[in-house]
Amino acid sequence: MTDRGLNKNDKMGAYWMPFTPNKAFKAAPRMLESADGLYVTTTEGRKIFDGSSGLWCSALGHNHPKVTEAIRAQAGKLDYSTAFQFGHPQAFELAEILAETLPGGLNHLFFTNSGSESVDTALKIALGYHRIRGEGQRTRFIGRFNGYHGVGFGGISVGGMVNNRKYFGAQLPGVDHMPFPYDASMHNSFGQPESGAQYADELETIIALHDASTIAAVIVEPVVGSAGVYVPPKGYLKRLREITKKHGILLIFDEVITAFGRLGYASASERFGVEPDLMTMAKALTNGAVPMGAVAAQSAIYNTYMDGVEGVELFHGYTYSAHPLAVAAALAAQRAYKEEGIYENVRENEQYFGEAIHALKDAHSSITDVRNIGYMSALTHSRINDVPMSRSSKIFQRAYENGLKVRVSGDTIAIAPPLITKRRDIDLITDMMVKTIKEVD
């Protein structure tokens, strides 16, 4: 780095890293150089098991040859296709494939470049839908405490993770948050907690407060991801669906993490048998290889737009919507999920994975709660001297040194390996976790 007369912070380098304590990272960087299958390789040449699938993205593992080749071929053919008023055949093909893959009436796909964009797009689709139908007074949204819906202003407004909101002042007006459907009685549930569906009834209370006719949509992650993997109590999502339907309120499932196999099915909606009006996706859509997101809409919503107004039906989009390289990666990934039985692999090994993660608790008293579903899991750790993240951040760093990449969020360590992970790999993960937790204890 050249000295440009910069102060001490400037001298840490030009790259302003996202969601990262920059100073700490630059003092002790974790730098990746390459990746292959289940492993990433650091710039020092150490191979690390990717126990977080990138950021829940790399379902097929890294550098899957069919995805890589599809991107390479597309780059030499059509590198960019004007997004507005022009299209390319592969985007239409991908939409058809996703419409077939997703449940029931989720038959229309709007393409974005990220999860955050998908969330803001879904919120806008909901507002426009009501307005076209003559219900323009439906402008309120209901999210949930601890929800994560990306970093756009819409997403942080309906989201409920404190740090994502508190520094940024004014947000969308007219947003309420439902209580988080989790309490100590659900600790260490295997898969879905048996009780807790009654948390959905709180939605009725919020609706009554404002009158249903003012509410546009309710948005939830079917399984809470970023806040630390919280699995919905049995019956909870169904009840949310019943309540929203009764009041003409749209239900949005934010499936940015759960779509495409994380739970052993194409979506959480399929797994739980609950169909939302709008569904957001990203991450594993392209196996993480090229940024891309999408919103799936029920036919009834799409048809309202098509039949409702003249001209441009939804005045919204991105320069890079349905970018050819992203579409190529998505087509290859979606085909590979089917051809290689990726979802089946998760279904076959979910029990084994869950038991292995839960067994860690028996060996370590510092673990206070374990949660799991599909290939998502989380271990909550006690704090050292009551300092938040004191133990979890040590485990995160030590795991990395021991050859395992996990995700830290508050006092929770999330483990969510690529969906190609087999039982012998699960054993490897738990061996490394046992060693790591012992060392930190």
Please report, as ranges, the residues that interact with ligand PMP according to CB under 6 A.
114-116, 119, 148-150, 221, 225-226, 254, 256-257, 282
- Please work out, in degrees rounded to the nearest 5, the angle formed at the alpha carbon of residue 252 by the alpha carbons of 250 and 254: 175
Give Cα 306 to chain centroid, integer Å.
Answer: 30
User: Which residues share a beta bridge with 177?
Assistant: 143
For residue 226, the minimal CB distance to ligand PMP (Å) is 5
Nearest-CA neighbor of 405 among 45, 37, 51, 4? 51
Check if the beta carbon of residue 150 is closer than 8 Å to that of residue 114. yes
Structure letter (DSSP) for residue 11: G
- 40 or 292: CB nearest ligand PMP: 292
- 3-state SS class at 195: coil
Return d(Cα 295, Cα 78) in angstroms, integer: 24
Of 106 and 119, the one with the shorter C-beta distance to ligand PMP is 119
Q: Of 283, 253, 286, 285, which is closest to residue 269 (Cα–Cα)? A: 253
Between the two ends of the chain, the Cα-to-Cα distance in Å is 39
Long-range pairs of 22-30 with CB within 8 A, sequence gap ≥ 24: 30/400
CB of 218 to ligand PMP, least distance (A): 15
What are the structure tokens assigned to 139, written together? 């402008």
Tell me whether residue 219 or residue 428 sits nearer to ligand PMP (CB atom): 219
Cβ proximity to ligand PMP: between 148 and 265 the closer is 148
CB of 114 to ligand PMP, least distance (A): 4
Q: Which is nearer to ligand PMP, 221 or 425 (CB)?
A: 221
In angstroms, what is the minimal distance from the CB of 94 to ligand PMP? 18
CB-based closest residue to ligand PMP: 115
Q: Between 291 and 324, name the residue whose CB sits nearer to ligand PMP.
A: 291
In terms of Cα–Cα distance, which of 239, 218, 136, 138 is closest to 176? Answer: 218
Q: Give the nearest distance from C-beta 269 to ligand PMP in angstroms.
A: 14
Of residues 373, 433, 386, the one with CA closest to residue 406: 433
Q: Least distance (Å) from ligand PMP to the CB of residue 257?
A: 4
CB of 384 to ligand PMP, least distance (A): 27
- The whole-angstrom separation of Cα 19 and Cα 381 is 21
Using the Cα atoms of residue 362, residue 363, residue 365 and residue 366 in order, give the sign of their dihedral: negative
Task: Name the residue nearer to ligand PMP (CB basis): 282 or 433.
Answer: 282
Closest approach of Cβ 113 to ligand PMP, in Å? Answer: 8
Nearer to ligand PMP (CB atom), residue 148 or residue 353? 148
373 close to 192: Cβ distance less than 8 angstroms: yes
For ligand PMP, the closer of residues 106 and 257 by Cβ is 257
Could you tell me where the DSSP H helices lie in 236-316?
Answer: 236-246, 268-272, 299-308
- Which candidate, 115, 144, 123, 168, places its Cα nearest to that of 227? 144
Tokens matching residue 403: 């050859």
Rounded CA separation 45/47 (Å): 7
Look at residues 231, 232, 228 and name the one whose alpha carbon lies nearest to residue 413: 228
Would you say 282 or 437 has its CB closer to ligand PMP? Answer: 282
Question: Could you tell me the smallest distance in angstroms from the CB atom of residue 232 to ligand PMP?
Answer: 13
Q: Give the nearest distance from C-beta 368 to ligand PMP in angstroms.
A: 23
